[in-house]
Amino acid sequence: MLTREQLRTAIRGPIATVPVPELGGDVGIRRLSATDLIHIRSIAARAPANVSDDDNLNVLCEVLAMGLTCDDQGTPAFSPEELRAWDGTQLPLMERLVEAIQHHNGIGQAAEEELRKNSESGKTSVST
Protein backbone atom coordinates (compact mmCIF):
# COMPACT_ATOMS: atom_id res chain seq x y z
CA MET A 1 0.00 0.00 0.00
CA LEU A 2 1.27 3.49 -0.85
CA THR A 3 2.27 5.75 1.99
CA ARG A 4 0.81 9.22 2.37
CA GLU A 5 4.00 10.78 0.95
CA GLN A 6 4.01 8.38 -2.02
CA LEU A 7 0.40 9.35 -2.77
CA ARG A 8 1.25 13.06 -2.58
CA THR A 9 4.23 12.56 -4.89
CA ALA A 10 2.14 10.59 -7.39
CA ILE A 11 -0.64 13.18 -7.38
CA ARG A 12 1.82 16.08 -7.65
CA GLY A 13 3.44 14.37 -10.64
CA PRO A 14 6.98 14.52 -11.91
CA ILE A 15 9.12 17.62 -12.21
CA ALA A 16 10.33 18.05 -15.80
CA THR A 17 13.53 19.84 -16.69
CA VAL A 18 13.99 22.12 -19.68
CA PRO A 19 17.44 23.17 -20.87
CA VAL A 20 17.74 26.96 -20.94
CA PRO A 21 21.20 27.90 -22.21
CA GLU A 22 20.39 31.61 -21.81
CA LEU A 23 20.20 31.08 -18.05
CA GLY A 24 23.13 28.69 -17.86
CA GLY A 25 21.35 25.41 -17.09
CA ASP A 26 18.10 23.54 -16.70
CA VAL A 27 14.85 24.95 -15.36
CA GLY A 28 12.30 22.85 -13.46
CA ILE A 29 8.69 22.66 -14.64
CA ARG A 30 6.10 21.39 -12.17
CA ARG A 31 2.61 19.97 -12.60
CA LEU A 32 0.02 22.64 -12.04
CA SER A 33 -2.55 22.18 -9.31
CA ALA A 34 -6.27 22.26 -9.92
CA THR A 35 -6.30 25.72 -8.32
CA ASP A 36 -3.62 26.89 -10.78
CA LEU A 37 -5.55 25.55 -13.76
CA ILE A 38 -8.80 27.15 -12.57
CA HIS A 39 -6.94 30.45 -12.14
CA ILE A 40 -5.58 30.24 -15.69
CA ARG A 41 -9.07 29.51 -17.03
CA SER A 42 -10.52 32.48 -15.14
CA ILE A 43 -7.82 34.78 -16.55
CA ALA A 44 -8.57 33.54 -20.07
CA ALA A 45 -12.33 33.93 -19.58
CA ARG A 46 -11.95 37.54 -18.42
CA ALA A 47 -9.63 38.49 -21.27
CA PRO A 48 -11.16 41.03 -23.65
CA ALA A 49 -11.09 40.43 -27.40
CA ASN A 50 -8.26 42.94 -27.85
CA VAL A 51 -5.75 42.12 -25.13
CA SER A 52 -3.04 44.70 -24.52
CA ASP A 53 0.66 43.84 -24.55
CA ASP A 54 0.78 44.60 -20.83
CA ASP A 55 -2.09 42.16 -20.17
CA ASN A 56 -0.33 39.49 -22.23
CA LEU A 57 2.86 39.99 -20.21
CA ASN A 58 0.87 39.71 -16.97
CA VAL A 59 -0.65 36.40 -18.09
CA LEU A 60 2.77 35.06 -19.12
CA CYS A 61 4.16 36.02 -15.71
CA GLU A 62 1.27 34.36 -13.87
CA VAL A 63 1.69 31.08 -15.77
CA LEU A 64 5.47 31.13 -15.36
CA ALA A 65 5.17 31.79 -11.63
CA MET A 66 2.83 28.80 -11.32
CA GLY A 67 4.92 26.42 -13.41
CA LEU A 68 8.61 27.19 -12.85
CA THR A 69 10.19 25.43 -9.90
CA CYS A 70 13.62 25.57 -8.29
CA ASP A 71 13.63 22.15 -6.61
CA ASP A 72 12.19 18.64 -6.76
CA GLN A 73 9.45 19.59 -4.29
CA GLY A 74 7.82 22.05 -6.72
CA THR A 75 8.78 25.21 -4.84
CA PRO A 76 8.05 28.23 -7.07
CA ALA A 77 11.18 29.78 -8.54
CA PHE A 78 9.72 33.27 -9.01
CA SER A 79 6.72 35.33 -8.03
CA PRO A 80 4.68 37.01 -10.79
CA GLU A 81 6.12 40.36 -9.64
CA GLU A 82 9.70 39.12 -10.02
CA LEU A 83 8.93 37.91 -13.53
CA ARG A 84 7.27 41.21 -14.44
CA ALA A 85 10.55 42.90 -13.49
CA TRP A 86 12.05 41.20 -16.55
CA ASP A 87 9.78 43.72 -18.34
CA GLY A 88 9.43 41.49 -21.37
CA THR A 89 13.14 41.75 -22.20
CA GLN A 90 13.22 37.97 -22.28
CA LEU A 91 9.92 37.54 -24.15
CA PRO A 92 11.08 34.70 -26.47
CA LEU A 93 12.44 32.80 -23.46
CA MET A 94 9.28 33.45 -21.45
CA GLU A 95 7.07 32.21 -24.30
CA ARG A 96 9.22 29.09 -24.71
CA LEU A 97 8.93 28.32 -20.99
CA VAL A 98 5.15 28.84 -21.05
CA GLU A 99 4.97 26.35 -23.94
CA ALA A 100 7.02 23.87 -21.88
CA ILE A 101 4.66 24.34 -18.91
CA GLN A 102 1.64 23.79 -21.15
CA HIS A 103 3.19 20.69 -22.70
CA HIS A 104 4.15 19.21 -19.31
CA ASN A 105 0.62 19.80 -18.04
CA GLY A 106 -1.20 18.63 -21.16
CA ILE A 107 -2.79 21.99 -21.85
CA GLY A 108 -2.79 24.10 -24.94
CA GLN A 109 -4.00 23.55 -28.48
CA ALA A 110 -3.38 19.78 -28.55
CA ALA A 111 -5.32 19.27 -25.32
CA GLU A 112 -8.18 21.45 -26.58
CA GLU A 113 -8.33 19.44 -29.82
CA GLU A 114 -8.41 16.16 -27.88
CA LEU A 115 -11.16 17.50 -25.60
CA ARG A 116 -13.20 18.62 -28.63
CA LYS A 117 -12.68 15.24 -30.35
CA ASN A 118 -13.70 13.33 -27.23
CA SER A 119 -16.78 15.47 -26.66
CA GLU A 120 -17.88 14.99 -30.28
CA SER A 121 -17.58 11.22 -29.95
CA GLY A 122 -19.53 11.16 -26.67
CA LYS A 123 -16.55 10.58 -24.39
CA THR A 124 -16.43 12.61 -21.21
CA SER A 125 -12.80 12.55 -20.11
CA VAL A 126 -9.44 13.62 -21.45
CA SER A 127 -6.39 11.44 -20.95
CA THR A 128 -3.14 13.13 -19.93
Beta strands in the chain (DSSP E): 16-20, 25-29, 68-69
CA atoms within 13 A on the CB side of 83: 25
127 occurs within a structural domain: no
Quote the CA–CA distance of 60 and 29 in Å, as a whole number.
14
Residue 75 main-chain phi, psi, to 5 deg: -65, 130
The alpha-carbon radius of gyration of the chain (Å, integer) is 16
At 28 the pLDDT is 96
What digits encode the pLDDT tens for the residues 49-87? 666 777 778 888 999 999 999 988 889 999 999 998 886
33 occurs within a structural domain: yes
pTM value is 0.73
CATH number at residue 109: 3.30.2220.20
Select from 81, 77, 59, 57 the least CA-distant residue to 67.
77
Q: Which residues pair with 69 in a beta bridge?
A: 28, 76
What digits encode the pLDDT tens for the residues 22-46? 889 999 999 998 898 888 888 777 7
59 occurs within a structural domain: yes
Q: Which residues pair with 17 in a beta bridge?
A: 28
8 occurs within a structural domain: no
Check if the beta carbon of residue 101 is closer than 8 Å to that of residue 67: yes
| Number of domains, the chain | 1
At 128 the pLDDT is 35
First to last CA, the chain: 24
Range(s) of the domain holding residue 44: 13-120
